[in-house]
Amino acid sequence: MGTSLKITVVGDGIVGKTCLLISYTQNRFPEEYVPTVFEHYGQEITVDDEHYNMTLWDTAGQEDYERLRPLSYPNTDCFLVCFSVDQGLASYENVITKWVPEVRHYKPTSPIVLVEMTRRNSKYTILIPK
């Protein structure tokens, strides 16, 4: 078995959260956009000979789901907060004004990793700061 980890992915709609998770867990890139309400994916990983059962929670970024989205936050070990430079400055500004405050409100001590998504040639480049 292994240690369970829950990673919850948040960010504006259409930044590529679902593409990131499908690409990682299924090794394929989705060809069309399908809005997410709530999905989760499982992945087993090994880091430094430690085994982990990782559950990746995909959340809806649209305002229509603002009341439902926090239901996925309990027991989250880490948040990935995604934004897209392809959507202009507004996507990044929402990280500061919406996503980080929302996550901190519900889970004040969970780590946050910012993920910059850029769409190039039907693929996403994921830049994770060190």
pLDDT tens, residue by residue, 64-119: 667 888 999 999 999 999 999 888 889 999 999 999 999 999 999 999 999 988 76
Q: What is the largest CA-CA distance in the chain?
A: 43
Token pair of 25 as six digits: 């867990």
CATH classification at residue 50: 3.40.50.300
- Segment of 6-10, 21-25, 125-129 carrying the highest mean pLDDT: 6-10
Number of domains within the chain: 1
Rounded Cα–Cα distance for residues 69 and 86 (Å): 24
Q: Are 76 and 91 in contact (CB under 8 A)?
A: no
Asked whether the CA dihedral 108, 60, 128, 42 is positive or negative, the reply is positive
For residues 21 and 27, what is the distance between their CA atoms, to the nearest angstrom?
Answer: 9
pLDDT in tens, 30-50: 777 666 666 888 889 999 999
* Strand 78-84 relative to strand 123-127, pairing: unpaired
Buried b (16+ CB within 10 A) or exposed e, 62-100: eeebeeebeebbeebbebbbbbbeebeeebbebbeebbb
Q: Do residues 79 and 17 lie in contact, with contact meaning Cβ atoms separated by under 8 Å? A: no
How far apart are the C-alpha atoms of 113 and 130, rounded to whole Å? 10
- Written as six digits, the tokens of 37 are 């309400």
DSSP 8-state code for residue 96: I
* Full domain range(s) for residue 75: 3-127
